[in-house]
Amino acid sequence: AHMPKISPKEALFYLNYGTRYPQVMNEIGSGSLKSRCLAACSDTHVLDELTNHLENNNGNTINATATAHRDNPTMVELYDNLEPKMKIQLLESSLVGARKSMADKERECGSRNERDRDVELSDRLMYERNGKKEGSSKVVVLGCGVA
């Protein structure tokens, strides 16, 4: 079954709430509340916000008790109120997500470089073999097909 998407702020709220009800956060599997919350907090925008917060505070957290009872705490305040073990799990999950994102970008760049190389090779083959001048129509060979 498809589970509803959790926003990063909601995820941090649930991760905080889960410390009072550990049976909910001890569920295992990709569809579990904990897994979905960790995934929601691995978003690039969320990572940027949390990283900026950590860099600006040199690891010092704001007064958790002062913000714990506010009606609408910020994402950073919710993060600061997490138990240390949950912060570690969140940061580990974010690290794995960042690595996957980098690998995806490298693959994307690699395929783009292959296409550029194919176009360049196609140009060279066509112009050298046919003696045509650049600017005339051309056929671009991409991988095993023709475009």
Query: Distance between the two ends of the chain, CA-based, in angstroms?
Result: 40
122 and 137 in contact (C-beta within 8 Å)?
A: no
Q: Stretch 34-61: mean pLDDT, rounded? A: 81
Q: Stretch 130-137: mean pLDDT, rounded? A: 58
- Confidence at 147, pLDDT banded by 50, 70, 90: very low
The pTM assigned to this predicted structure is 0.59
pLDDT at 57 over 70: yes
Percent of the chain with pLDDT over 90: 5
Q: What is the mean pLDDT of the chain?
A: 77
6 and 14 in contact (C-beta within 8 Å)?
A: yes
pLDDT per position as a tens digit, 66-91: 545 567 788 888 888 899 998 998 88
Residue with tokens 């957290």: 61
